[in-house]
Structure 1
Amino acid sequence: MAKPGCLIVVDTFRSAVILHLADQNDVNEVAAKLGIDRQRVTRCLRRVIAVGPLEALDDLPRSGRRPDITEAARTWLIGEACVKAKERGYPHELWTLRLLAVHTREHGPAAGHACLAELAPSTVHDVLNSQPVKPHKMRYYLQRRDPNFEMRKAEVLEVYAAAEMLREIPEADRPVAVLSYDEKPGIQAIATTAPDLPPKPGKYATMHRDHEYKRLGTVTLSAAVDLVSGFVHHVVTERHRSREFIAFLERLDAHYPAGMLICLLLDNHSAHCSRETKRFLASKPGRFELVFTPTHASWLNYVEIFFSKVARSVLRRIRVTSKVELVERIRRYIEMCNAAPTLPRWRYGINTEPKALAA
């Protein structure tokens, strides 16, 4: 194969010849001006006449060596990659390039593809990339299991639309409080077993931490974001049962003025629709309205965005000396959020699906 530098020289030579020929110079004049023999100019001229000036700048295609792997073998290999490895008798859930190469070498010739007898993992990679097929990767999706998804989604979107309209009403005159509620269970309190080492110029640029750690237990963060004001109501508990949910509802009942409807957007957790919860709601007629998101559609609940922010800003890589410290640091963070609340802005479907809002 020619070196890149050689290709550049050839292209420059051909370009010069073609330009001089375009200026109506004959073959002898071009050869004299460029200091080359007449035969080279003639060959370039024939190439221009045959394929055109642009194509003449490149080398003509050559036959080359025939591919070692036939198209039928490639198709067979790609078909095997699209089948789970466990369905071929392996303990692996997904293929690896090395495992697929071994499988192909063992079973390819028996399937009528002798060219696969010495297949290498790198060749497997090239064949799969031609599609492309990546059997070593997994991408998750969510199947809609709620038959009433569209109707319940429309109810959720109406909640966000109502929150937008309530912002235009003075706070004292608002008849409804609209909140997005959920729990974030299993927040781990993890302690270090050795002190963290701060960055040192010339030695290491990042914070250093020992790999060992100690588990101190878990807590649950329950939070409700006021979709009108952005204020975050929260409580941190050991568990998230019906009694904890009812206690949270009592906190909301005490916070908002009497006679105001409290509309709560939440998921379908068993504690939200248990007998104890229904009994409490029946004791407060006209006080609470619960709007449930569709099954397996927690992404429609704004509070999940808040939890994501908490996880990225505070809980990621957090180390504490006790669960008490963990609770205190979560509390301080939410106080910071409430000191400068961010007004929730939900855009999915509100402007793009007006029919759902009118349903």
Structure 2
Amino acid sequence: MTCRLPAETGVPISRWSCPELAREAARRGIATFVSASTVRRWLAEDALKPWQHRSWIFLTGPGFRLKAAQVLDLYARTWQGEQLGEDEYVISADEKTSIQARCRCHPTLAPGKARAMRVNHTYGRGGALAYLAAYDVHHARVFGRTEPRTGIVPFMNLVTQVMSQEPYASAKRVFWIVDNGSSHRGQKATDRLAATFPNAVMVHPPVHASWLNQVEIYFSVVQRKVVSPNDFTDLTEVRDRFQEFEDRYNAAAQPFQWKFTTSDLDDLLARLDRHTTDHHEESSVAVAA
């Protein structure tokens, strides 16, 4: 019963819990009575955790391997089979949207003995803004800015902020790794960047591969250390906090220890290919039966 989806057996829940399993076992007459703790112990013996779930997606974008390998090669300081020079840089950039200024109706209380920090649930809305960041992959330096919203102009403002200062202004090439968001999608975005800054090269990872973009790691740090829990008086305080954190981060940052290589990518794609093939074969057998 545990290894079947609840909906397949007419139970109107999305996933099993131990109390639900115990209740259903009694309803079906599998046991006159069984406690949730007993069910939990039985599941633990077989390492079953039906209350957990993981999402997945098929990699359907054209040229996935080629596009992903370009990004991974840049992290390894190579491009089209040649080593990058000292005057070539790799930037990972993206936007973090809709950061709200939530002014709590009662002050946040610092943690104390046997007490967690306490944040009032009720808040007033002080507006929202977007945080755009460019991360120098090999030098662990962040360039960020806040904008009222995302879009082509805000993104190009970020690019200009980086490319107008050294060492990027006089660099031989600066590679910009960006996702397929509307602010920097497709050939038009590539041409726009090159026309504005001839030494800038835009590189797009495959669709559904934001995990290849190292700036997302920085954004996860920002989410944990700056944004959550959100308690800002107004948008000015949000802007100031982001700038202050950026300065603090840059003062001590080290490059991320990126270990996923093109060899790992090939292994991953081979496993996915085997999984897809097995899945199609099983489906064909089921249909034939």
* TM-score between the two structures when normalised by the length of structure 2: 0.76
Write the mapping of 1:1-359 to structure 2, written as runs, cut at 5 A.
80-108=1-29, 116-162=31-77, 169=86, 174=87, 176-198=88-110, 206-255=116-165, 256-258=168-170, 260-273=172-185, 277-278=189-190, 280-281=192-193, 283-284=195-196, 286-349=198-261
Q: Find the aligned partners of 2:266 and 2:180 in 1 and give their Cα distance.
A: 25
CA displacement at 1:136 relative to structure 2: 2.1
Q: Find the aligned partners of 1:327 and 1:142 in 2 and give their Cα distance.
A: 36
Cα 1:206–1:134, aligned 2, differ >3 Å: closer, same or farther? closer
**Is contact 2:194-2:200 (8 Å) kept?**
no
**Is contact 1:188-1:219 (8 Å) kept?**
yes
Q: Find the aligned partners of 2:10 and 2:256 in 1 and give their Cα distance.
A: 51
CA displacement at 1:117 relative to structure 2: 4.1
Q: Find the aligned partners of 1:343 and 1:200 in 2 and give their Cα distance.
A: 35
Q: Find the aligned partners of 1:118 and 1:353 in 2 and give their Cα distance.
A: 49
Aligned length: 262
Q: Find the aligned partners of 2:213 and 2:143 in 1 and give their Cα distance.
A: 15
Secondary structure at the aligned position of 2:76 is classed as helix
**Is contact 2:16-2:51 (8 Å) kept?**
yes
Q: Find the aligned partners of 1:276 and 1:343 in 2 and give their Cα distance.
A: 31
CA displacement at 1:323 relative to structure 2: 1.0
Question: Which structure 2 segments of 5+ residues have no match?
Answer: 268-289
Question: Which structure 1 segments of 5+ residues have no match?
Answer: 1-79, 109-114
Identity of aligned residues (%): 29
Q: Find the aligned partners of 1:236 and 1:285 in 2 and give their Cα distance.
A: 22
- Structure (1 or 2) with the larger CA radius of gyration: 1
CA displacement at 1:311 relative to structure 2: 1.9
CA-to-partner distance for each residue in 1:90-149, whole Å, 9 max, x for gaps?
3311122233233333334xxxxxx53444434433433332322222233454333533
Q: Find the aligned partners of 2:122 and 2:140 in 1 and give their Cα distance.
A: 39
Q: Find the aligned partners of 1:307 and 1:241 in 2 and give their Cα distance.
A: 18
CA displacement at 1:282 relative to structure 2: 5.8
Root mean square deviation of aligned Cα: 3.2
CA displacement at 1:159 relative to structure 2: 0.7
Cα 1:285–1:239, aligned 2, differ >3 Å: closer, same or farther? closer
CA displacement at 1:155 relative to structure 2: 0.7
Greater RCO (Cα-Cα under 8 Å, separation 6 or more): 2
Q: Find the aligned partners of 1:297 and 1:233 in 2 and give their Cα distance.
A: 23
Secondary structure at the aligned position of 1:95 is classed as coil
* TM-score between the two structures when normalised by the length of structure 1: 0.63
CA displacement at 1:150 relative to structure 2: 2.4
CA displacement at 1:329 relative to structure 2: 0.7
